Every structure is written in C-alpha cells, then in structure tokens.
Amino acid sequence: MNSSDPPVPQTRLIVPIPKQQYLESGRRALALLGPESVSDAAVGFNEYNDCRQFPECRPDTHKDIWDSITDWRTKRNEKKMIWIRGTAGVGKSTVAQTVAEQRRAAGTFFAAFFFPRFTTCDIRHCLIPTLALQLTAQRPDYKQLVIKSLAENPNLLSEDLCSQFTKLIARPLRILKVHGVFESRESFAIIIIDGPDSCQDTEAQREFTRLTKFINDRSGNDSELPVLCMICSRPEPHLKMPFAGFDNCIRKELLVDDKNAKDSVSHFLHEGFTEIRRRFPESFEKRGEWPLPDDLKRLDNEASGHFAFASIVLDYVGDVKKKVIQETA
C-alpha cells in the first residue's frame, strides 16, 4: 500500500439478509464486517469525517511525546502499547490523527478508530470489525485469513471484544509473522484508537478496559504477535486505574499548563493566521500587520495550551462562508 491507494471502501447492506447466506464465498464472508463497521470512525473516508478536522501536529511540537512514539514504533525491545492521555482540548486527537496520516503516507499496515464525540454506538459490535475491515483492504494474505475465521464462525461478531480481537486481528497477524511476514518492528501492524472515553455506555467502557488489558497481556507474553497499539484518551478513572498496572505499556501525558504545550499552541495559531493571509490575499491588500500583536497575545493567553481552542478560532476566522475574514481584516 502507498499514499496513492484509495481509501477503504464503505461497505453497507441496505436490506438485512441472514448471515448464513454470506458464507457462500469469500467476498460474502467478508461482507459480514461491513454492517458492523463505522465508516466515520475510520481515517480518511470523506472530507467531512470528524477526525480530519483536527490540526496537524508539527514535528517541533510536543517533542517528548513524538520521541516516545518513535521509540514505540521502531525499537525492538520497546513495549508494544502506548497510552497518550490528557484533559479535553490538549491535542490528543491531533496526535492520533497526525500519526494516522503519517502511517498512511508511508504505506504502513495500519488501522484507526476515532470515536465520534459522545457516541452511543456499541463498541462491542463495531470497534474490531471497523479495524479489521481497514486491514483487509491493505493485505490480501491477511484478508484470506479473516475470511477463513468468519467462514468457520458466522457468529464471531457477536462474541466479546477479546475474542473478536484474537480471531480477526491477533491470530491472522501471528500466522503471517510465523510465515516470514513482519520481520522488523517497523513493519508491524499499527492500531490507533482515539477517544474511547467518549463512549457513553458504561458496560461498553468496561469491555473496552478488558480489551486493553487483554492486548497488554497478550502482546507482552507473545513475542510473535506483530501489532503495536496506540490509545489516546482523557485520564478517566475507568481507564487510568487499569493502565497504571499495565507492564507492556508506555504512558505519556499531554500537559496543558507546561511551557512546551503553550509554545506549541502559540506556534500553531501564528502559522494558522499566516496561512489565512496566504489563502485570501485580496482581503489584506490595504491592511498592514494582521492580526495585531496585542490580539495575538490575547489569543495565546486565552488558548493557554489548548489545541482545540486554537483550532476553533482558526476554523472560524478562515471560514469564507461566514465572511469573518472581511470583517476582521
């Protein structure tokens, strides 16, 4: 796969059909994943995808976080799971989205799930199918193993998350690893999950916690499992407590009140306004400096390290439909 490859197709069944009828061929077996997947939660399905509204994280922002991500992705003896945590608006989704876009551009074997905000979707039925469907579009050998699992067990998608992960992701990847695929850590499959704290269902939250513990234990005990997992979330108690005990997990925190975070957001604001001027030169032909230094300083203080605030400001000012530029220039 390379950066020019088309996005994973959106598979939807309009008319409900008994699952047994989909087992007549490999294509129909794979179609079982379609109705359970969530297209808007995956990377790059369309320009309105919520996850694509986050600003791209520059290499010179959150350097300590990026150093840890690089080590997690490349060092053979490093732990296979990384948890990026932080309060709302500090840039967790920005980091997740940037990593996903980088992996797409590099042609890496990866899948991503971005939880819609305040979602009521049952992750017990949609999380693993969404990830598996993306991965099947990238490797025919992996796809055949997933088809085999679905054909052997038509009720697989009704099982718990740990069982789905084992049969649709871990076992196929391990088989490929044993047969010579994924020789280096850089070639391992990467799974990115952002925003599980947005899930409103308490039981689904508990099941996701069980899944993360299962992945931590499984990846730590199985050296032949070629999968790296990144999870970005707020430090909610139901996540923070179990993650504290994971021995195969790197834990990093995005802080909103440290100098690095504030400098990163300030840089993002300045670059954003420069880009707005570049996009709409006619609005600034008769103006001098814009925004004024005092206005920028005020915005820096208001943002106070929150990427979400800065992103909303730039989206609003740069929205040509609202004609904000003409009013502020």
Consecutive 10-residue runs of the chain (329 residues): their mean pLDDT? Answer: 38 33 52 64 39 53 84 88 87 87 92 76 80 92 93 89 95 93 92 86 84 90 88 87 90 76 75 83 76 83 73 76 52
8 Å CB contact between 205 and 233: no
Is 141 domain-assigned? no
- Residue 65 pairs in a beta bridge with none
181 and 102 within one domain: yes
Report the C-alpha gap between 299 and 281 in whole angstroms.
22
Q: Which pLDDT score, from 0 to 100, does residue 30 have?
A: 67
Q: Which pLDDT score, from 0 to 100, does residue 73 have?
A: 93
CATH code: domain of residue 247: 3.40.50
Domain boundary among 253, 276, 305: 253
Let me know if 138 is exposed, middle or buried by CB neighbors in 10 A (0-12, 13-18, 19+): middle
Range of 239's domain?
A: 39-118+166-253
H or E stretch covering 126: helix 123-136
Q: Which pLDDT score, from 0 to 100, does residue 52 have?
A: 40
Q: Which pLDDT score, from 0 to 100, does residue 251 have?
A: 93
This prediction has a pTM of: 0.72
Q: Which pLDDT score, from 0 to 100, does residue 257 have?
A: 63
Q: Which pLDDT score, from 0 to 100, does residue 177 have?
A: 93
| Strand 227-233 versus strand 189-194 pairing type | parallel
Is 234 domain-assigned? yes
Task: Return the number of other C-beta atoms located less than 10 Å from residue 223's C-beta.
Answer: 10
Domain boundary among 212, 234, 253: 253
Is 318 domain-assigned? yes
Domain count within the chain:
2
Is 8 domain-assigned? no
Q: At what angle do helices 140-152 and 171-178 cross, to 10 degrees?
A: 130
Residue-wise pLDDT tens digits, 246-295 = 999 999 988 766 666 677 777 778 888 888 888 888 777 767 788 888 88
Is 133 domain-assigned? no
Q: Which pLDDT score, from 0 to 100, does residue 9 have?
A: 32
Q: Which pLDDT score, from 0 to 100, does residue 120 have?
A: 58
The structure tokens listed for 171 are: 């076992």
Let me know if 188 is exposed, middle or buried by CB neighbors in 10 A (0-12, 13-18, 19+): buried
